[in-house]
Amino acid sequence: MMALQQASAFLVLFLVALLLPPQCAQDPAMVHYIYQRFQVLEQGLEKCTQATRAYIHDFQEFSKNLSVMLGRCQTSTSEYRSAVANLALRVERAQREIDYLEYLREADICLESEDKTLAEKLIQEAEEEKKIRTLLNASCDNMLMGIKSLKIVKKTMDTHGSWMKDAASSSQKVYFLIGSRNKTLWEFANMRAFMEDSTKPAPRKLILTHSWQGTGQVIHKGFLFFHNQGTLNEIIKYNLQKRTVEDRMLLPGGAGRALVYQHSPSTYIDLAVDEHGLWAIHAGPGISGHLVLTKIEPGTLGVEHSWDTPCRSQDAEAAFLLCGVLYVVYSSGGHGPHRVTCVYDPLGTIGEEDLPKLFFPRRPRSHSVIHYNPRDKQLYAWNDGNQIIYKLQTKRKQPLE
């Protein structure tokens, strides 16, 4: 170390002598000053060298420690990845178990829902049956067994029309409605006056405020109910005494879109009266649509209930109700034989197998209308201009269980 310092001092003196001008190089004070400054510079360089060595040593230690830490990190990363993969498998297995439990829970809910729906449906059907039995719980237990006789009461030149008595009144008046589109109604005092034109008193002529459509009119408790001409499904309740429209309704269920009977070319809605009150019959959708039966409350014209029946409008010519049972008359080509081949009982107490073959006396044409009168238990019909009464043979229905 001493030799190094001496060499350094010699080097400094040599540089001073070399670099300084001759006059400065001969000055001892100047040389000493420059020497001291070089010593300071040398000491600074020595400290810088030591600091650099220390930094290099520290960096080498840091690199070594960092390498060790990176190795440990890689090992930890591998372990972490393995743990994550294992956790993912456990989560997937747990999710499958949860999905299975959820499936079982939903299956139980579906079964409970189906059971509840079935129970509600059964309750609804029972309530509906109870409602129908209550609705049709009149003192009437007759069923049709045959046509006993035919009586032609009057002959006219009009092919289509209807005639009737008040189905819910003791009045003897007879009402005569000519044609399938008209607004003139004739009122006869009794059956004899209707049969003999010369009998007094003369019939009363009533001009309605609206024209009827078809031949499905009925009279119930002094009111004429008819399908209003020019409308699809409007039923008018007309007060015969006041000669005013009492009320009106729109018959639902697609009524009025098709002929109710194939062989009655002008009737789209057929009204009827029996022991249970007022009914409406119309055809459902389709070329050979089935008949729809609707019970109407005559006081308010509210719909009480509707039934889709199995009876078709194709080949049908007329229908009537007796004790809540629908009897539909069919004929081949409209020329007979005229036979009841479809019966519908909303209570299910009568089927076609319970009835004999119900034939009407053969007529040259189809009936324009056949309506039942519950007071005298007869059918009032119009056939090819003839006003006809059919007397009926009935028997008691089987009681409901």
pLDDT tens-digit series, residues 261-275: 999 989 999 999 999
Using CA atoms, how far apart are residues 391 and 149, in angstroms rounded to an integer?
A: 5
**Least trusted range by pLDDT, from 55-69, 269-283, 369-383:** 55-69
| Mean pLDDT score, 341-367 | 85
Phi/psi of residue 340, nearest 5 degrees: -80, 110
Using CA atoms, how far apart are residues 352 and 7, in angstroms rounded to an integer?
A: 143
β-pairing, 378-383 with 367-373?
antiparallel
Does position 380 have pLDDT exceeding 70, yes or no? yes
Could you tell me which CATH class the domain 142-396 is placed in?
Answer: mainly beta
Residue 220's contacts (CB-CB under 8 Å, 6 or more residues apart) are 166, 167, 168, 273, 277, 278, 298
Question: What pLDDT is stored for residue 206 in this prediction?
Answer: 96
Question: What pLDDT is stored for residue 396 in this prediction?
Answer: 85
Question: What pLDDT is stored for residue 290 in this prediction?
Answer: 93
β-pairing, 358-359 with 367-373?
unpaired
> 356: pLDDT confidence band, cut at 50, 70 and 90?
confident
> 130: pLDDT confidence band, cut at 50, 70 and 90?
low
Question: What pLDDT is stored for residue 266 in this prediction?
Answer: 94
Q: Which residue has the higher pLDDT, 40 or 299?
A: 299
**Least trusted range by pLDDT, from 193-202, 213-222, 288-297, 366-375:** 193-202
Q: Are 330 and 341 in contact (CB under 8 A)?
A: yes
Does position 10 have pLDDT exceeding 70, yes or no? no
| Conformational region of residue 316, where left means phi above 0, alpha means psi within -120 to 50, and beta covers everything else | beta
The CB-side HSE value for 364 (13 A sphere, CA atoms) comes to: 4
Extents of the domains making up the chain:
48-105, 142-396
Q: Are 185 and 208 in contact (CB under 8 A)?
A: yes
What's the order of all strands across the beta sheet hosting 181-188?
Answer: 161-165, 174-178, 181-188, 204-213
Question: What pLDDT is stored for residue 152 in this prediction?
Answer: 94
Give the amino acid at 48.
C
Dmax over Cα atoms in the chain, in whole Å?
181
Q: Which residue has the higher pLDDT, 392 or 74?
A: 392
SS3 80: helix
Maximum average pLDDT range among 52-56, 136-140, 390-394: 390-394
What does the block give as tokens for 17? 């002598």
Vertex 222 angle, CA 215 and 293, to 5°: 45
Does position 401 have pLDDT exceeding 60, yes or no? no
> 65: pLDDT confidence band, cut at 50, 70 and 90?
confident
Question: What pLDDT is stored for residue 274 in this prediction?
Answer: 95
Question: What pLDDT is stored for residue 126 in this prediction?
Answer: 61
Does position 4 have pLDDT exceeding 60, yes or no? no
Does position 5 have pLDDT exceeding 60, yes or no? no
Q: Are 339 and 358 in contact (CB under 8 A)?
A: yes
Does position 348 have pLDDT exceeding 90, yes or no? no
